[in-house]
Amino acid sequence: MQAVLLNLPGWGKAWFARLYWRGVARIIGLERRCLGPRSPHRPTLFVANHCSWLDIVALGATLPGCFIAKSEVGGWPGIGLVAKLGRTIFVSRNRETVAQEQRLLEARLQAGDNIILFPEGTTSDGNRVLPFASAFFTLAFGAAKPWVQPVTIVYDRLESQPVRHADRPQIAWYGDMDLAPHLLPLLRRRRVRATILFGAPMPPGSYANRKQMSAALERQISANAAALRQGRELPAP
């Protein structure tokens, strides 16, 4: 079965991964509320904040795109196979392989693949958005000339009740947390809701350089995440 799935064409792997993550979301009781239209353009860089392994399930079930993951993820049981099926791009973060990995990412964009970026480079505690690393935005200025769409994800309902500040460590997976001890208590919960807010898609050339883009999107996503956590009304994208 694994060999058959890995031999699917690119669109088949992406379709299977999205279907798989939707199944996982249903099993674990993860609901998704999407606000605003998703970018219809190809390729698009979806730029999102990151606080939990749940982000992979929520965004994988919602977006037609490839994740970028550290190379170790490819060897994780279950998750590694699905990551490969979804055409995840594995990077080692070694200086010796940076140029080669950058060429691979650029080739994916030029082939029309969307890419999902987490420019914080790690996960937060869910109560804030960490600073963005501008190096992630190099792809936005490459030959593929992708559109860029900011995506804000916040977990705002836990068993039909608003998520409080003290509840967020139950959802966020960050720092030196082991996965299993964090996973099991959360799975005992019957329902968690992720609200996913899509900002306005930005055409190529919207910013002069990657540092300007990184700073602007960090401010936008941070403000949107704060508003969603506090239940405030957001302006239309």
Contact 215, 53 (CB under 8 A): no
Q: What is the mean pLDDT of residues 198-223?
A: 97
Sign of CA dihedral 106, 108, 112, 117: negative
In the predicted structure, residue 67 carries a pLDDT above the cut 50: yes
Whole-angstrom Cα distance, residue 14 to residue 77? 19
Q: Quick one: the chain helix, strand, coil %, rounded to 5?
A: 45, 20, 40
- Classify 83 as helix, strand or coil: helix
pLDDT of residue 16: 75
pTM: 0.86
Spell out the domain ranges in the chain: 2-229
In the predicted structure, residue 178 carries a pLDDT above the cut 50: yes
Whole-angstrom Cα distance, residue 70 to residue 72? 6
Whole-angstrom Cα distance, residue 140 to residue 137? 5
Whole-angstrom Cα distance, residue 230 to residue 237? 18
Whole-angstrom Cα distance, residue 194 to residue 80? 23
- Give the side-chain half-sphere CA count within 13 A for 178: 4
Token reading at 84: 């490969």
Tell me phi and psi for residue 69, to 5 degrees.
-135, 155
Q: Which CATH number fits domain 2-229: 3.40.1130, 3.30.1450, 3.30.1490, 3.40.50?
A: 3.40.1130
Q: How confident is the model at residue 1 (pLDDT cuts 50, 70, 90)?
A: very low
Contact 65, 46 (CB under 8 A): yes
Whole-angstrom Cα distance, residue 216 to residue 212? 6
Read off the DSSP letter of residue 73. G
Whole-angstrom Cα distance, residue 135 to residue 117? 11
pLDDT digits (tens, 9 = 90+) for 89-111: 888 767 777 778 888 889 889 98
pLDDT of residue 201: 97
pLDDT of residue 4: 47
